[in-house]
Amino acid sequence: MPSNKSVSDAPIFQFTNCRILRSHQLQREDLWVREGKILNPEKLFFDEKGSADIQLDCKDSIIAPGFIDVQINGGFGVDFSLAADDVQSGISLVSQKILSHGVTSFCPTLVTSPPSVYHKVLPQISVRNGGPHGAGILGAHLEGPFISKEKKGAHSEHYLSTFESGAFQDLLATYRHLDCVRIVTLAPEMKRSSEVIQELTRRGICVSLGHSVANLSQAEEAVRHGATFITHLFNAMLPFHHRDPGIVGLLTSDQIPARRRVFYGMISDGIHTNPAALRIAHRAHPKGLVLVTDAIAGMGLAPGRHTLGQQVIEVDGLNTYIAGEHSIRSLVTFSPHLGPCVF
Amino acid sequence: MRLVILDDYDLASEWAAKYICNRIIQFKPSQGRYFTLGLPTGSTPLGCYKKLIEYHKNGDLSFKYVKTFNMDEYVGLPRNHPESYHSYMWNNFFKHIDIDPNNAHILDGNAPDLQAECDAFEKKIEEAGGIDLFVGGIGPDGHIAFNEPGSSLASRTRLKTLAMDTILANAKYFDGDLSKVPTMALTVGVGTVMDAREVMILITGAHKAFALYKAIEEGVNHMWTVSAFQQHPRTIFVCDEDATLELRVKTVKYFKGLMHVHNKLVDPLYSMKEEN
């Protein structure tokens, strides 16, 4: 039956035989869309006397908003931390390939690198909307180099840095171009971090705490200065201890501003965190959980060697290690499997 | 009248749905020749609506050439309120079938001129050629639609103040809070329903038993407005065992004995697939 042309000429789509995400539940309901906007079908029926122009049988699929990946270092052979001449084509390739994994927006992430890399790569990154061509680019996530040596994980020790002499000016000298930067991960126990956090926050850049040996007080101080995110909770930070919960304690801290919500990234591949730990974090602070892949260039490709910025990575079966090292601290994600975790 | 007694709620709902299905299909509705159906709300017809939806989803029944007229709607309740009869009809029936929205008529309880809205509704029924089959329920006080005890048996569509029995019965839909239940409604009149070519009343549950007794075993009385249908040429009462608890054994035995005749109305169950 045709839609009511006196209200709008645009066709009405009715997605049937599907489950939609509504009120935090999966409900068996049809989804009605016109010109990219979701319609209230009851209003359409009684007000406009409208009905669907095109019905699409979803064969019992789930219709859900696209995933947003705020920590992804590359994929399909592309390494975002490489000082390439044509960074855009690498980003575009990844943005197009991750669509079929359900990701519709992401933050290309750069691991600890020498300033020359940032100077070359950052000017080439631009924020843009997604579409059929690929996922949207929200801005860069700079993970390092202002992180702790003890918790460097897979990052290159040689290029770690501090901002204790010039605070924000040191950071600016390292990165130079901040226009397209959306998130910066840093270790808050570093000297003068409060000034840096304040200035980044003032510029609208999200400050995330990670790769750090900060105790809970230092982490709370960072949040009071503007930090709002935690980079891959549990990994590359002090473990939860009942007398000093460290950064993990932010999930239930009462020493942070009342209306501020701290979000935390979690790598849910079952290897970086034990599912039981993931559940503890979720139950303690369900509204702060953000799933991330922290995927690397090797995602989507066969086992072998790939780069992760200044490091060389070896993919061996399900696990991935810094080439030559086989310890947990150097584990990096192979490929994202978010579906079973979410649903 | 026909009194069709089934063992339980589900069987009664199914019998009623089959009857409606057969009536629509036998009518052979088409472009310009619509089957007009009067429809109720409440908990009683839910099972019947589910069955009709099932027949539609199986491809056996289409509502493309069916026009519907609901019996009533609360006054002053926002149309998108979860307990409005608009919401009820959308969620329990219209959203699952292929009826043309222009053919689904429900009184507007928020119209600026309520009597004009009622008059317009009567006119729409007339323009549609009258109602072929009016399906209704019965209140515990024996009312049809919101024709409360004392309503004229010749009444037409109008504004009515709800009786306390009705407000109490509806409180369960408003968190049990009497103050939240609307006190007025627009309703088709007894006379409006009597004008239909055929009437089918669904009555299930022990709490309706006394009302059924008053409606069919006592006289025609404006205190029990469903009793008016004793004077309608084609009325079917479809009920379950529990609803017959206040009837005379003689009445129940007589009509149960006629079930083989009644069942010819629903068996065979027609399908629009055969028509094509």
For B6-25, write each residue's pLDDT tens digit.
999 999 999 999 999 999 99
**CA distance to partner chain B, nearest, from residue A67 (Å):** 30
- Higher-pLDDT residue of B80 and A4 is B80
- pLDDT of res. A340: 47
**CA distance to partner chain A, nearest, from residue B174 (Å):** 21
- pLDDT of res. A329: 44
Task: Say how far apart CA A55 and CA A51 lie, in whole Å.
Answer: 10
Residue A323 contacts residue A312 (beta carbons within 8 Å) = yes
Per mean pLDDT, which range of A103-112, B69-78, B267-276 is the poorest?
A: B267-276
Q: Active-site residue numbers of B?
A: 72, 141, 143, 148
pLDDT in tens, A137-155: 999 999 999 999 999 998 9
- Higher-pLDDT residue of A308 and A207 is A207
Task: Say how far apart CA A132 and CA A115 lie, in whole Å.
Answer: 34
Annotated binding residue A143: yes
Question: What number of C-beta contacts closer than 8 Å exist between A and B?
Answer: 29
- pLDDT of res. A310: 84
Q: Omega of the bond prior to B268 within 30 degrees of 0, cis? A: yes
Is residue A314 over pLDDT 60?
yes
Q: Where are the beta strands (DSSP E) in B90-203?
A: 104-105, 133-136, 158-161, 184-187, 199-203
Task: Say how far apart CA A27 and CA B253 lie, in whole Å.
Answer: 46
Instruction: Look at B90 and A51 and tell me if their CB atoms are within 8 Å.
Output: no
3-class secondary structure, B88: helix
- pLDDT-based confidence at residue A313 (cuts at 50, 70, 90): confident
pLDDT in tens, B74-83: 999 999 999 9
Burial A56-87, CB ≥16 within 10 A → b, else e: eeeeeeebeebbbbbbbbbbbbbbbbbebeeb
A 10 A CB-CB count for A116 gives 9
Query: Does A67-330 carry CATH code 3.50.50.60?
Result: no
- DSSP code string of A284-312: H-GGGEEEE--B-TTTTS-SSEEEETTEE
Nearest in space to A255 (alpha carbons), one of A265, A245, A264: A245
DSSP H or E segment with residue A120: helix A115-121
Annotated binding residue A119: no
The two three-digit tokens of residue B13, written as one number: 């709902």
Is residue A208 over pLDDT 80?
yes
Mutate to test the interface with A, among B80, B83, B93, B106 (most CBs of A within 10 A): B80
C-alpha distances in Å from residue A46, one per residue of A50, B79, B88, B104, B174:
8, 9, 13, 9, 23
Per mean pLDDT, which range of A304-318, A322-336, B163-177, B186-200 is the poorest?
A: A322-336
Task: Say how far apart CA B86 and CA A56 lie, in whole Å.
Answer: 26
Domain ranges of chain A: 12-63, 67-330
Is residue A120 over pLDDT 60?
yes
- pLDDT of res. A243: 94
Report, as an integer, the average pLDDT of B87-91: 97
Is residue A332 over pLDDT 60?
no
Is residue A343 over pLDDT 80?
no
For tokens 């030559």, the residue is A324
- pLDDT of res. B166: 86
CA torsion, ordered A294, A300, A305, A309, to nearest 10 deg: -40
User: Does residue A50 belong to the interface with chain B, where contact is any CB pair within 8 Å?
Assistant: yes
Report, as an integer, the average pLDDT of A254-258: 91
The DSSP secondary-structure symbol of A205 reads P
Alpha helices in B78-203 (DSSP H): 85-92, 114-127, 164-170, 190-194
DSSP H or E segment with residue A142: strand A140-143
Instruction: Look at A46 and B90 and tell me if their CB atoms are within 8 Å.
Output: yes
Q: Where are the beta strands (DSSP E) in B108-252?
A: 133-136, 158-161, 184-187, 199-203, 235-240
Mutate to test the interface with A, among B94, B103, B105, B107 (most CBs of A within 10 A): B94
Task: Say how far apart CA A29 and CA A143 lie, in whole Å.
Answer: 41
- pLDDT of res. A335: 44
3-class secondary structure, B34: coil
- pLDDT of res. B85: 96
Mutate to test the interface with A, among B68, B84, B95, B100 (most CBs of A within 10 A): B95
Sheet containing A305-308: order of strands: A305-308, A311-316, A319-322
CA atoms within 13 A on the CB side of B23: 22
- pLDDT of res. A311: 82
pLDDT in tens, A225-249: 999 999 999 999 999 999 999 999 9
- pLDDT-based confidence at residue A4 (cuts at 50, 70, 90): low
Mean pLDDT of chain A: 90
User: Does residue A42 belong to the interface with chain B, where contact is any CB pair within 8 Å?
Assistant: yes
A 10 A CB-CB count for A154 gives 23
Residue among A41, A48, A49 whose CB faces B95 most closely: A41
The two three-digit tokens of residue A169, written as one number: 């000016």
Is the CA virtual torsion A50, A54, A55, A59 positive or negative? negative
Report, as an integer, the average pLDDT of A296-325: 78
Nearest in space to A174 (alpha carbons), one of A111, A114, A87, A110: A114
Residues paired with residue A109 on neighbouring β-strands, in sequence order: A141
Residues with Cβ within 8 Å of residue A61, at least 6 apart in sequence: A18, A19
- Higher-pLDDT residue of A9 and A273 is A273
